[in-house]
Amino acid sequence: MNSPFLDEEHVMLQDQVRRFVREEVESHGDAWEAQGFVPRPVLKKMGELGFFGLRYPEKFGGSEMDYRGTAVLSEELGRSTYGGFAITVLVHTDMASPHLANAGNPEQLAAYLPAVIGGEMITAVGITEPDAGSDVAAMKTRAVKDGSDWVLNGTKIYITNGVHADLYFIAARTDTQAKGSRGISMFIVEKGTPGFSVARTLDKMGWRSSDTAELVLEDCRVPESRVLGEINNGFYAVMRNFQNERLSLAAQAVGEATKALELTMDYTLNRPAFGKSLWQQPVIRNRIAQLSSQVAAARSFVHETAWRAAQGQEVVREVSMLKALCGGLVNKVMYDCQQFHGGFGYMAGTPIERMVRDARVQAIGGGATDVMLEEVAKRLSPDGFVL
């Protein structure tokens, strides 16, 4: 990677993940796309190799790496060309299970985290609702105390890993009188809990090897021991993990854009047109050069932000910038790469066609671009733009 922000352990991780993708993903990804999910044995193997516990405590089976490990893993999974596979893993490692790792009490951590790290339990997080996406404060799912239990009612939608997960972290409003972001709590809900069900599997434009569900909670009773973190403090837990989630998605987008440019370079070097290769057409190679420069700049920004986060610095503005920047950039890259592939790039089953479909959601999921830009705008210096 030749990045000044990465250490030797990160380069070793890059090599390990890239080798896994080459040996275990590239020849099977099409089948996973067709069936709509990544097989459990594959995820279990990733857990055994240590990919699911990069930033978790060693005593639970983790590696105790920092945010830079997240960036490297995400980028390499993005390079796989199978966005559905990548997001299946990243939701488990960096969007769902961090809720347990960050807020779980000793009993909860001992009960669940080793299995989560080992790939024996796959996780999902239930925040988005039919009328509450980026606006988390608009959540309507309710949790009411009944004796020593909490009873949950509501619907969650667009939940990645929602069909095949074993462990769900569900956000619900526990104080109906509190306004906006106040009065939201997080709960651990195991698959098979009475009153909790997968209402339907959702079909998608892209990320087709990722299972996505609508979840329904109907008088779903969970004991007090399954409350995750402090009651009425769940909104802040969600906001805290959004920074991790958005950094991961930005790095994934950089990996996707990098791989698309590599594929396009190879194609244009070997595709003849008008007596020479497409690469020898200045209009094409100059455009590829321009996109490559932009992706390289985005990668440096990702690595620097991951390094800053690892130093304990506040990076909300930078992560919001990255999510907006990379979500837009990967779509721009895919548009031109597909254009340079011509008719071949429009054929179903080709890597570029699949990657174009997968990239579209990068400007939507995890915080829509316009929402991210508003987060950036609120944090710009009144005395001028200061990084």
Tens of pLDDT, residues 237-274: 888 888 899 999 999 999 999 999 999 999 999 999 99
Distance of CA 293 to the CA centre of its chain: 24
Which of 231, 250, 285 delimits the end of a domain?
231
- What are the pLDDT digits (tens) for 373-383? 999 999 987 66
How far is Cα 76 from Cα 259, in angstroms, rounded to an integer?
Answer: 10
- Is 385 inside a domain boundary? no
Structural domain that includes position 77: 8-122
3-state secondary structure of 32: helix
Question: What's the mean pLDDT in 328-336?
Answer: 98
Q: What is the pLDDT of residue 238?
A: 85
Per-residue pLDDT tens digits for 164-202: 999 999 999 999 888 777 899 999 999 999 999 999 999
Of 87, 122, 157, the one marking the end of a domain is 122
Which of 107, 122, 137 represents a domain boundary (last residue)?
Answer: 122
- pLDDT reading at 367 higher than 70: yes
So what's the pLDDT on residue 385?
A: 56
Total domains present in the chain = 3
pLDDT tens-digit series, residues 57-68: 999 999 999 999
Q: State the CATH number of the domain containing residue 19.
A: 1.10.540.10
365 and 247 assigned to the same domain = yes
- Residue 27 confidence class, pLDDT cut points 50, 70, 90: very high
* Residue 90: band (very low, low, confident or very high) from pLDDT cuts 50, 70, 90: very high
> pLDDT grade, residue 140 (50/70/90)?
very high
**What are the tens digits of pLDDT across the range 141-157?**
999 999 999 999 999 99
- Residue of 75, 245, 318, 375 marked catalytic: 245
Q: At 311, which CATH number?
A: 1.20.140.10
CA–CA separation, 73 and 119 (whole Å): 16
Comparing C-alpha atoms, which of 170, 325, 315, 308 is closest to residue 249?
Answer: 325
Q: Determine the pLDDT at residue 386.
A: 56
Same domain? For 201 and 255 the reply is no
85 & 116 share domain: yes
* Whether residue 245 lies in the annotated active site: yes
Q: What is the DSSP string of 324-365?
A: HHHHHHHHHHHHHHHHHHGGGGGSTTSHHHHHHHHHGGGGTT
- The CATH number of the domain where 138 resides is what? 2.40.110.10
Number of residues in the chain:
387
pLDDT band (50, 70, 90) for residue 1: low
Tokens of 227: 């409350």
94 and 117 part of one domain: yes
What torsion, rounded to 10 degrees, do the Cα atoms 48, 52, 55, 56 define? -70
Region 291-315: mean pLDDT is 96
Average pLDDT estimate for 2-22: 95
Q: Helices H, strands E: what count in the chain?
A: 12, 10
The pTM score is 0.95
374 and 287 in a single domain? The answer is yes
Check the CA dihedral 173-133-169-232 and report its sign.
negative
Token reading at 246: 């958005």
